[in-house]
Amino acid sequence: MLMADPEILARIGALELAARHIVDGLLAGSHRSPQHGFSVEFAQHRDYVPGDDIRHVDWKVFGRTERYFLKQYELETDLALWLLVDASESMRYTSGGRTKYECACLAAAALAHLALKQSDSVGLATFDEQIRALLRPASRPGHGRDLLRILAEGPGNGTSRIEPVLHAAAERFNRRGIVAIFSDLFDDPAEVLAGLRHLKFLRHDVIVFHVLDPAEIDFPFREATLFRGLETGNDMLTDPLSVRESYMEELQQFMAMLEQGCRHSHIDYVRLLTDTDLAAVLAQYLGRRTTVGG
């Protein structure tokens, strides 16, 4: 049984502790929103019933009607937070410190922990060339541990095919919500954007966390280096200085196409480097999202 594996149990414990630490950093010194939900788009009113949080009472309506109504927000009615995490072999890469997969898992687990603390529903899918594991949205006790158990299984040895995965997710995520994607996006940018637009077309709120290692950005290699294709199986011994300029040009075009394509489609794009302070990056993004949304 998977849960009896001591290594998996240790990974779950470490991931849970790290996620809580990130969330504590997110909340430290900040005021919690009195509004319910990861998304706070107002949807409708409903009658107050004993036990409801009085912070959600619409006092303006009470002043007109002398009846208690609660503001109900979009996420309370039909939204969920979906986490879509790339578990392909390229996510194993690290130039030191965290792998890209570990970075993706920490960020995803932190958002899940934050949403579950607010009693929001969270779902998870991991993928390579197809969706490998799927956990339907829930907020019940123990759901967070089920989510961490799947993440703790680690990346596989498969290649990534992101566009068909995004189309499959669009069909299987039958509960409209916020879809947060964590991936290095190593696929054809036009195809990736087509998949993202499918999710957007179905009225999901889409967030792309583009996970990269600093060495992939800076290409710091100087001596003759053996580059190993994690997903292709091809090895290449080359002089890095002879290919650095063309590599950097291709990389900048790749990232620019993804970022500009996301913005054109009203999809949030967040670059996430593995050596970054995740609490700071997530706090900055969530703060910007709240400001724009409010």
> Is residue 162 pLDDT above 90, yes or no?
yes
Residue percentage of the chain with pLDDT more than 70: 75
Closest CA to 162 of 85, 101, 216, 234: 85
Q: 168 near 27, Cβ under 8 Å?
A: no
**Would you state the pLDDT for residue 174?**
80
- pLDDT for 109-148, tens place per residue? 999 998 898 888 999 999 999 999 999 999 998 999 999 9
> Across the strands, what pairs with 126?
85, 133
Confidence class for position 55, pLDDT limits 50, 70, 90? low
Confidence class for position 3, pLDDT limits 50, 70, 90? very low
C-alpha 190/C-alpha 25 separation (Å) is: 36
> Across the strands, what pairs with 207?
180, 268
Confidence class for position 240, pLDDT limits 50, 70, 90? low
- pLDDT for 98-107, tens place per residue? 999 999 999 9
Helices (H) and strands (E) in the chain, counts: 10, 10
Block residue for tokens 């594991």: 133
> Is residue 261 pLDDT above 50, yes or no?
yes
Structure tokens given for 193: 């954007």
Q: 236 near 180, Cβ under 8 Å?
A: no
pLDDT, mean over the chain: 82
CATH H-level superfamily of 2-28+79-293: von Willebrand factor, type A domain (3.40.50.410)
Q: List, in sequence order, the alpha helices (H) in 161-207.
A: 162-172, 189-201
Confidence class for position 65, pLDDT limits 50, 70, 90? confident
> Is residue 209 pLDDT above 70, yes or no?
yes
> Is residue 77 pLDDT above 50, yes or no?
no
More confident residue, 44 or 257: 257
C-alpha 78/C-alpha 202 separation (Å) is: 13
**Would you state the pLDDT for residue 181?**
98
DSSP string, 102-116: HHHHHHHHHHHHHHH
Q: Where are the domains of the chain?
A: 2-28+79-293, 42-75
